[in-house]
Structure 1
Amino acid sequence: MQEDFLHYIWQHQYFDKTDLQTEAGEIITVLRPGNRNADAGPDFLGARLQIGEVEWNGAVEIHLSASDWARHQHQIDPKYDQVVLHVVYTADHAVRRTNGTLVPTLALASRLAPELLQRYQRLLSAPPTALPCAPFLMQVPGITRAMMVERALLERVEQKAAGIEALHQQLGADWEATAYHALATAFGFQKNSESLARLAKALPLNIVRRHRHDVRQLEALVFGQAGFLGEAAETETDSYITGLRNEYMFLAHKYNLASSALPVHAWNFLRLRPANFPTVRLSQFAALLHARPTLFDALLTAADVLTLEQFFAAPLSEYWREHYRPGRTGKVPILGRSSAQLLVTNVVVPLRVAYARYVGQPELTESAVALLNQLPAERNHLTEPYEALNFSHRSAADSQGLLALGRSYCEPRHCLRCAIGSHVLRQNKVLR
């Protein structure tokens, strides 16, 4: 058993309250269990209890064993002097505050319904590869499942938006720069995200703005700062790359860029198809910067996903339509539809939510999340188990919700915080 289980039991009062007494025999009436405390100090604050003839307002501390009080050094911590009830599974020791006064203790071992405890143990003991609630899902209403997936989705979007907000603060509250850095990172599509994030820092937006009208200068800056314009045998007779190299040497000297340029080994080509090579993504990113004068306003105001897909599909320059890498030929497509849809999910939606929070317009959050309903579902090994259990999976909103449910609740076994797990546990609880 984990202590979180007792927190859950106390918060929801899922125990037998018949003839409720402290270990000293005083009658307990729970008037208000209190609120979970996420900070340092007792587990529940603002509790209201009647113990014997006295009504108490204070804190409740929870442990598996009463002796954990001393093991955690609460007897010398003034924060725990406000505790009016010590709730434990087993009461193996009397506990006292810093002034020596006794803290009333309530033991729950004999007050928990066996069915409740058995279900909890089954959830925790499920194999790592299995969804812990799978054997019980037939008992969970569809509305409970759907609401939990939606909750997980919103938590995932808010988490991504928090990352955008932090980036916005780092960049001096400049939304255009925020969009530039967020898009650069996302253009790495996981395998090269970190390197593209580094490139955005090494190539400031104010320099990009000065040269975005000239595609040759822009590509020189992008590929030069990325480390791909060094001398190499395969580009020895490539006049276009030679021209970019000369252009970059001039611009790098002008803006003092060379010291911040990335080494070519910072980029990952391993196990990537040519269409996903970092050089291809850099050419697509450079094309976007050249063709779209503003980023943030377009990402914020696009009416639908189709408009955004067209925005991201900027035409490549003539050289990069025919080269996967400097000096290596091959047909290169513009940014594909599926890649554009990933950018909507990972950049546009959280960017809009972050902006909505910044300007205090929650309705913008709803419209941002609504974009996910226009995108097709993302199917992979992480969503397959949920589809097999008949979870709805019709759009990217469902995919993102299921991914969040798995990573934030199912994998770490946070069933007690999940509405589905909570419903499972409530099925056979015995309350009096």
Structure 2
Amino acid sequence: MKEDFLHYVWQHQYFDKADLQTEEGEAITVLRPGHRNADAGPDFLDARLQIGEVEWNGAVEIHLRASDWLRHQHQTDKKYDQVVLHVVYTADQDIQRTNGSRIPALALAPRLDLGLIHAYVNLVEQAATPQLPCAPLLPQVPVITRTMMVERALLERVEQKADAVATLHEQLGQDWEATAYHALAAGFGFKKNTEPLARLAKALPLAVVRRHRHEVRQLEALVFGQAGFLAEAEVTADDEYIQALRREYEFLRHKYQLADAALAAHDWNFLRLRPANFPTVRLAQLVALLHARPVLFSALLAAPDVRALEQFFRAPVPEYWRGHYQPGRAGKVPALGRSSVHLLVANVAVPLRVAYARSVGQPELIESAVALLEHLPAEHNHLTELYATVGFEHRSAADSQGLLSLSRAYCQPRQCLRCAIGSHILRQNVVVG
């Protein structure tokens, strides 16, 4: 059993409250359990309790064992002097405040229903398996509960991505065009190369890109040179195109003093990627976009629908990169695929629009941004398929994003107590007095 289970039990008062008493035998009436504290200090604040003849307003601290108070060093922390009740699973030790006054304790071990404990263990503490821990119990969960939880997880995922965009916006001096440039660059990393592409955006300032975006050869030289792919190599010794890019880059890197920030070829991930997903291919696609779109942010913001965003992301790559996966290595390269475009819409355009909408206080823009996901096809991978097999709807990217967030934020770390689905299952096993 983990302490968060007792937090859940106390918050929802899922225990036998008949003849409720402290370890000293004083009667307890819970008038208000308090609210969870997300900061340092006691677990529940603003609780209202009657203990004996006295009504208390204060905090409640929760531990598995009363002696955990000492292990956590609360006996020397004055923040915990406001605790009026110590709720524990077992009361193995008397506890005092920093001034020596005793804190009443409530032991929950004899007051918890065994069915609730059994349901909790089955959900949260069983050994990890490829299946969802709640899968056998899902038939007892109403469809509306499952749907609302997926929607909640979706909004949490979008908000987290928007938070990252907002942080980037602050770091870039509140410049939305620069923010769009950096977000787009990272987006073209498609997870495997997100980090080096984010570094590349820092290594190649937007101001430099703007000066040379009209000359695609110069833009190629800057992007591939700063990425570390124009260094002398045997495979490109006879490649006139790469040799020309290298000469162009040598001039530009000296002009803008870019050398110290440049990446190296070994910074990029090629392992377990199909050639069409090689970072060099993605860089060529990014070059094409930067060359074809004079402005980034306003276009991403103003696009009225998914089709317009698809058009934004589609730009013909320079001819060399239609026939080369890497510098000096020939092969027919497909254009940016539809699924990749949709990932860019979901992971770049939507969070960017949500972050902007929050900054200007326009909630209707947030709704329209999230609604874009409902018009994108569902993503299919092992995680989304796992949920589809147990009856979760999976019709659009909104469902996919919600299911991915549900998996990563709740199911994988076994945060069933925070999940509406897990909470519903536990409620079915609550028998309290």
For the superposition of Structure 1 and Structure 2, which TM-score range results when normalised by the shorter chain?
A: over 0.9
C-alpha contact (below 8 Å) 2:16/2:112 kept by paired residues: yes
Q: CA deviation at 1:83?
A: 0.8
Change (3 A) 1:74 1:207: same
**More moved, 205-214 vs 362-371:** 362-371
Partner of 1:201: 202
Q: CA deviation at 1:59?
A: 0.5
Q: CA deviation at 1:147?
A: 0.6
Report the 3-state secondary structure (helix = DSSP H, G, I; strand = E; otherwise coil) of the residue aligned with 1:246.
helix
**More moved, 112-121 vs 269-278:** 269-278
Q: Which amino acid aligns with 2:91?
A: A
Q: CA deviation at 1:302?
A: 0.8
State the TM-score, normalizing by the size of structure 2: 0.97
Segments of structure 2 that go 5 or more residues without pairing to the other structure are: none
Partner deviation per Cα, 1:239-274 (whole Å, 9 max, x = no partner): 322222221111111111122222122222233222
Q: CA deviation at 1:328?
A: 2.6
Structure 2: how far apart are the matches of 1:128 and 1:209?
A: 51
Partner of 2:422: 421
Structure 2: how far apart are the matches of 1:321 and 1:105?
A: 72
C-alpha contact (below 8 Å) 2:204/2:222 kept by paired residues: yes
Q: Which amino acid aligns with 1:126?
A: Q
Partner of 1:49: 49
C-alpha contact (below 8 Å) 2:31/2:49 kept by paired residues: yes
1:387 paired to 2:388: yes
Report the 3-state secondary structure (helix = DSSP H, G, I; strand = E; otherwise coil) of the residue aligned with 1:270.
coil
Superposition CA RMSD, Å: 1.3
Structure 1: how far apart are the matches of 2:100 and 2:311?
A: 71
C-alpha contact (below 8 Å) 2:77/2:98 kept by paired residues: yes
Partner of 1:118: 118
State the TM-score, normalizing by the size of structure 1: 0.97
Structure 1: how far apart are the matches of 2:315 and 2:307?
A: 14
C-alpha contact (below 8 Å) 1:15/1:108 kept by paired residues: yes
C-alpha contact (below 8 Å) 1:313/1:336 kept by paired residues: no
Aligned residues: 432
Q: Which amino acid aligns with 2:333?
A: V
Partner of 2:377: 376
Q: Which amino acid aligns with 2:358?
A: R
Structure 1: how far apart are the matches of 2:28 and 2:177?
A: 59
Q: CA deviation at 1:31?
A: 0.8
Structure 2: how far apart are the matches of 1:75 and 1:272?
A: 54
Partner of 1:100: 100
Partner of 1:327: 328
Q: Which amino acid aligns with 1:12?
A: H
The aligned runs of 1:135-284 (5 Å cut-off) are: 135-284=136-285
Q: Which amino acid aligns with 1:87?
A: V
Partner deviation per Cα, 1:25-48 (whole Å, 9 max, x = no partner): 211111110011111111100001
Report the 3-state secondary structure (helix = DSSP H, G, I; strand = E; otherwise coil) of the residue aligned with 2:271.
coil
Report the 3-state secondary structure (helix = DSSP H, G, I; strand = E; otherwise coil) of the residue aligned with 2:413.
coil
**More moved, 396-405 vs 268-277:** 268-277
Report the 3-state secondary structure (helix = DSSP H, G, I; strand = E; otherwise coil) of the residue aligned with 1:75.
helix
Q: Which amino acid aligns with 2:8?
A: Y
Structure 1: how far apart are the matches of 2:330 and 2:75?
A: 73
C-alpha contact (below 8 Å) 2:124/2:415 kept by paired residues: no
Identity of aligned pairs, percent?
75
Structure 1: how far apart are the matches of 2:259 and 2:39?
A: 46
Report the 3-state secondary structure (helix = DSSP H, G, I; strand = E; otherwise coil) of the residue aligned with 1:153.
helix
Structure 2: how far apart are the matches of 1:272 and 1:106?
A: 57
1:13 paired to 2:10: no
Structure 1: how far apart are the matches of 2:15 and 2:118?
A: 14
Structure 1: how far apart are the matches of 2:330 and 2:148?
A: 50
Q: CA deviation at 1:318?
A: 2.3
Change (3 A) 1:71 1:127: closer
Q: CA deviation at 1:365?
A: 1.1
Report the 3-state secondary structure (helix = DSSP H, G, I; strand = E; otherwise coil) of the residue aligned with 1:208.
helix
Q: Which amino acid aligns with 2:179?
A: T
Partner of 2:361: 360
C-alpha contact (below 8 Å) 1:225/1:257 kept by paired residues: yes
Segments of structure 1 that go 5 or more residues without pairing to the other structure are: none
Structure 1: how far apart are the matches of 2:137 and 2:207?
A: 56
Q: Which amino acid aligns with 1:347?
A: V
Partner of 1:61: 61
Which runs of 4 or more aligned residues in structure 1 lie more than 3 Å from their structure 2 counterparts after TM superposition?
A: none
Partner of 1:401: 402
C-alpha contact (below 8 Å) 1:221/1:248 kept by paired residues: yes
1:350 paired to 2:351: yes
Structure 1: how far apart are the matches of 2:176 and 2:243?
A: 35
Q: Which amino acid aligns with 1:47?
A: A
Structure 1: how far apart are the matches of 2:68 and 2:126?
A: 28
Q: Which amino acid aligns with 1:380?
A: N
Q: CA deviation at 1:306?
A: 1.3
Q: CA deviation at 1:430?
A: 1.2
Structure 1: how far apart are the matches of 2:188 and 2:99?
A: 60
Q: CA deviation at 1:408?
A: 0.8
Report the 3-state secondary structure (helix = DSSP H, G, I; strand = E; otherwise coil) of the residue aligned with 1:189.
coil
Report the 3-state secondary structure (helix = DSSP H, G, I; strand = E; otherwise coil) of the residue aligned with 1:335.
coil
Q: CA deviation at 1:416?
A: 0.6
Structure 2: how far apart are the matches of 1:97 and 1:77?
A: 9
Structure 2: how far apart are the matches of 1:74 and 1:188?
A: 46
1:314 paired to 2:315: yes
C-alpha contact (below 8 Å) 2:379/2:400 kept by paired residues: yes
